[in-house]
Structure 1
């Protein structure tokens, strides 16, 4: 499945291909169009709506059909604590709990549940975070349980770790040595808007160039063409491994 997905991703605008030889002179950065969030959704839709519904070369059937046929034969062992199971896959850092909260990558987080631990331990606490959504982190208390902590300023929007770090570098480059969460997040949001606007403007310009260079077509013979009857499925085999 991974090989199939990677092959499809290389067809998207902005691909870096598998190696420099395949990349050639293609400008991946200039042609990129999808944000990270959009790419994640694209992959999920392709797995659920295409891969699992298509004929598998080894199974000879759609994977979802085989799953449904055999799922009752082996009892599924799901984790008792799904949240803790998910947290094991997240990256982590160690931080000291201060009276002002947890500081991570220049962002400040707080949870009322941490109040009881302030000043009670000198140990650095384990902090789990999702690089795709830095609006919240998960702090392991001295008792061993995890507690969710959010921005100390709850009015701020969610940003990715990449956006937060890029915004922080921008602020430091301007000589601002005292940065705070609000400034970092607001800068990240402005940078995101700038990129989104640039992508849309570039796409619009490309469409304009394409439309202006289209060759005129003699449509005198189009009357003989018939539409496709989608009510009659056409059998096909797709090589998906």
Structure 2
């Protein structure tokens, strides 16, 4: 054993010594292909993004309860507003890994408190909720406040609305992976900037969003983005996504 270990150590020492003596030129560690694709910005939207809502219509959305039906929410003055008691809406397209930008605003007239105040949600792959809630001096459980992964992880910090009363989420999401037998290979994770401030940092998602009980890890593929109807007239605008 001592002879084998000594031989291995000698070979390692000689290898490192050889590398140390190698003379590199700058171009030896430079490469020029493949080149990253060029992405430009138009009205702050990346050129490779899929625009899910630009203020004109709901062509990219359908009813969650019945995907054969059009989304029943209202569009007024370039703003998408929840129409209470009509149900959630979801994207026609489905996604796995992505960058998602969503802007939202609590109702102008404040009613209720806690979870009954400006409540909505953004479901990633139709299963994992990023909470939307009026967070202006509105105490509630921390893993249910704005910016939380609902009932799982509170935000690192609480970010308030900007002067225009709008909130901006930038979400970078990596989907969970399963093998062909439905066994979990890796859990999903999410990073979120709230008005430019980091509030979720590569946060692991434990499973489905459950109001009662623990998250469930269920095998699945690509899924839609869902916006929640929680009977509060929350507003949305400028929604786009970049599949990664």
TM-score under structure 2 length normalisation: 0.24
Higher RCO structure (Cα 8 Å, ≥6 apart): 2
Q: Which structure dedicates a bigger proportion of its chain to strand?
A: 2
Q: Which structure dedicates a bigger proportion of its chain to helix?
A: 1
